[in-house]
Amino acid sequence: MSEEIEKVKILIIGSGPAGYTAAIYTARAGLNPVLYQGLQPGGQLTITSDVENFPGFPQGIGGPELMELMQKQAEKFNTQMRFGIISKVDFSKRPFMIFTDDEKQISAETVIIATGATARWLGLESERRLAGSGVSACAQCDGFFYKGQDVAIVGGGDTAAEEASYLAGICKTVYLIHRRNELRASKYMQEKVSKISNIKILYSHIIKEILGEKSVEGVLLEDIKNKKEVKLNIQGFFVAIGHHPNTEIFKGQLDTNENGYIITKPGTTQTSVKGVFAAGDVQDEAYRQAITAAGSGCMAALEVEKFLCAPPN
């Protein structure tokens, strides 16, 4: 491993709306942030074809284009943008020691974690092929595109029930598909979806294939109880089987909740380690929106600036 250690005031781990916004704010403050983008610069939005709910774009904007604009804005103020991943961290004392996948060592006075969360997928080839062309993991992001149409959502927990309820207010018919014979959602959410007339719950069904070449045209299911195939004609397919936060390298370093999300002090982005901040989906299990991620990135940047300017204890 290289013996040369780079010293930085602020290291931002991860890109996307949270990381790029944190970079914009800290760079404008003259704090010379270094940002490691990860293996997917721009994060989850780079696989989202159209974004219509981000303020300032009345005609909508492509997810990759939005992330490219954010990156350019951060670079305009001299953020040091680097492609690559962080492989290991040591938050036991300040300055913190950070190790990259190419064996570079970084000594950072403060760290902003913006590594995001990744949607869990079914693992079908057709799911990957049609992602962004009818297949989505975010009903509130993409549901509007299927107004008045038939859609399906797979999952059985509160998230699936909540997103099915949301889609029911937009779409003609919502098929809620679950592999078990009862939902895992809370009793309240189960009662709620059961009372919505255009939600059709299909218990004991599994997804065999999503149909369509260039866009979703249907879904092929297997009725487990009756051992027969069922085909639904739909235009949109939503996956709601959970997300997992990208926090593997921080295990044992920071406090996380039972699902692995980084815990921050209420009303702040401060983690359990002073000088380490978390923004975006990596600490947000509830909203997971581009605008909320950007907002928390701003919060983290302002808190870092205040932290660095505070007199030593």
Active site residue 142: yes
Active site residue 171: no
Parallel, antiparallel, or unpaired: how do β-strands 86-90 and 96-100 relate?
Answer: antiparallel
**Which pair of structure tokens corresponds to residue 147?**
């107004």
Instruction: Find out whether 137 and 117 touch, Cβ atoms under 8 Å.
Output: no
Catalytic one of 50, 101, 141, 309: 141
Instruction: Find out whether 174 and 153 touch, Cβ atoms under 8 Å.
Output: yes
Alpha helices in 257-313 (DSSP H): 290-309
16/25 Cα distance (integer angstroms): 14
119/51 Cα distance (integer angstroms): 17
Active site residue 298: no
Sheet holding 150-154, edge to edge: 135-136, 236-239, 150-154, 173-177, 199-202
Catalytic one of 50, 101, 142, 281: 142
The tally of CA atoms less than 13 A away on the side-chain side of residue 18 is 28
Tokens 């490219």 sit at which residue? 68
Helices and strands, number each (H, E), in the chain: 7, 17
Catalytic one of 50, 138, 150, 281: 138
Parallel, antiparallel, or unpaired: how do β-strands 228-232 and 218-223 relate?
Answer: antiparallel
Catalytic positions, written as ranges? 138, 141-142
